[in-house]
Amino acid sequence: MMNSRMGKTREPVWSGHWGLTYMLGVPFRTRMTEQRMNGMRDRRLRWLVRHAWRTMPFYRELLQRDGLDPGSIGGFGDLQRLPLISRDDLRNAGESAWAEDLSAKRRILASTSGSSDKPLPLAYRLNDRLRKHLIGLHCMSMYGWRPWHRGMALGSEALPVNHPLARFGISRWAWVDPSQPVKEWLTAYNSVRPHALHCYPSALREFCFEARKQGPLRWLPKVLSVGGEFYPEELGALAAEVFGRPPLGMYGAVEGGRLAFECEAHDGLHVRPDAVHIELLKNGQEVAPGESGSVFITSLINTVMPIIRYELGDLAAWKQGACDCGLWWPRLTIFQGRKGDVIPLPGGRRVPVTRLASIVGKSTSVRQFQFVRRAENILVLRYEPDNEKEPGVPEVCEKLQQALPGVSLEVERTGQLPRTRSGKVTRYIDEFEKSAS
């Protein structure tokens, strides 16, 4: 009954098949008033929920289970009536969470990295992907990047070389494989001379160390940004030394593309209201500003596999007050990446890895580092020193120990720490829990 009433509806404003209105409008989004933006977002959500109901068995069953009429969802005011979804739910749903109205041939497949969890396969159509890229490039353009500029992505595949826009000459990005030796990154950098450099934070760290060794950079990019891992504040001083400025952090996820970005005010990350709706929840309830909550996203971009009230697994808090840059888009502080990155301490306390990382990361004699929990009360700091003569890290250890009462801290100097396939350094390994399970 409901199904027949839904019928086949045309995707309004942001057309599903062409998305032209959406795409042409992207460069002007920052000037849109909150009221107009909200109108657009509500229309989009209404369409997405109906679309999910019509074409995805997974969502149909979910709504039926809760006795929800998709036609009764009028916009984000009704969002809380929709069920919350976990990564496991989507993984178990498999292809039943993908739109049936798109032939398998036209599906573009992707997957989450699976660094903290089993990977989740995702599907898009070309337009979803174009929208994602446009959003990413628009964030870059707010930093001063222009389509005719050269870019270099170090370790981050957020802007791959072969994206659809590159065919039209928009955005020329060189992608440098971070599994190559660091010296080669510098060689590539010096030959590309990028206007925009986008890196994983851990890769930027290494780049800075290598660059410092080779002397002042002969070329400085207009735009320096990081993303793909939690954004550690500790990079600021190091990057300022090498590039003359701290990097701008971008927050994204394979599931939703670019979600938020830091502006020149360096005071939290602006959420992109045209790409995503973010809820910060604790026990299913929205948290108060300044309080930490788990990040749930509703993506306004994905149409093959809608992401509605989906738990991303990061922790964040809302920033209060207006931003100095003048943009009204709401701001987040990201406390930590995927939830796994919290170290349990004896006595039931927990400390985020990022807190420890910001202590060690500020040291300019530690090139890379990693924490290993070896027993319930033994934590090991493994680090790669900057050079052979380096005298050790007594101040770092002292500060770490203060942050870790009741824990026995051990220090290991190592050669090069292993990198993941995508070139990241795993910041935390829990050997104790692994041996227990």
Read off the tokens for 220.
Answer: 């400085």
Query: Closest CB to Zn ion among 20 and 265?
Result: 265
- Say how many residues touch Zn ion, by CB under 5 A: 4
The stretch near Zn ion (CB under 5 A) out of 15-23, 148-156, 247-255, 325-333 is 325-333
Helix, strand, coil percentages, rounded to 5, for the chain: 35, 25, 40
The stretch near Zn ion (CB under 5 A) out of 111-119, 279-287, 319-327, 338-346 is 319-327
Torsion from C-alpha of 411, 417, 423, 428, nearest 10 degrees: -30
The stretch near Zn ion (CB under 5 A) out of 20-28, 164-172, 259-267, 397-405 is 259-267
At its nearest, how many Å lie between Zn ion and the CB of residue 44? 24
Tokens 């300044």 correspond to 290
> Cα–Cα distances in Å, from 186 out to 150, 158, 219, 238?
16, 20, 11, 16
At its nearest, how many Å lie between Zn ion and the CB of residue 39? 23
Three-state DSSP at 183 gives: helix
**Of residues 196, 263, 301, 308, which one binds Zn ion by CB under 5 A?**
263
Torsion from C-alpha of 392, 431, 361, 233, nearest 10 degrees: -170
Beta bridge partners of 173: 151
Quickly list DSSP for 323-354: -TT---S-EEEEEESSTT-EEE-TTS-EEEHH
**Of residues 325, 372, 380, 397, which one binds Zn ion by CB under 5 A?**
325
The stretch near Zn ion (CB under 5 A) out of 7-15, 175-183, 323-331, 416-424 is 323-331
Contact 109, 123 (CB under 8 A): yes
Query: Closest CB to Zn ion among 142 and 379?
Result: 142
Contact 318, 330 (CB under 8 A): yes
Q: Is 323 in the site for Zn ion (CB under 5 A)?
A: yes
At its nearest, how many Å lie between Zn ion and the CB of residue 251? 14
Q: Is 333 in the site for Zn ion (CB under 5 A)?
A: no
Q: Is 265 in the site for Zn ion (CB under 5 A)?
A: yes
Query: Closest CB to Zn ion among 121 and 236?
Result: 236
Q: Is 26 in the site for Zn ion (CB under 5 A)?
A: no
Show the site string, 350-379: x = touches Zn ion by CB under 5 A, - = not: ------------------------------
Question: Rounded to an integer, what distance in angstroms lies between the CA atom of residue 384 and that of residue 411?
Answer: 11
Question: Rounded to an integer, what distance in angstroms lies between the CA atom of residue 411 and that of residue 88?
Answer: 37
At its nearest, how many Å lie between Zn ion and the CB of residue 263? 3
**Binding residues for Zn ion (CB under 5 A):** 263, 265, 323, 325
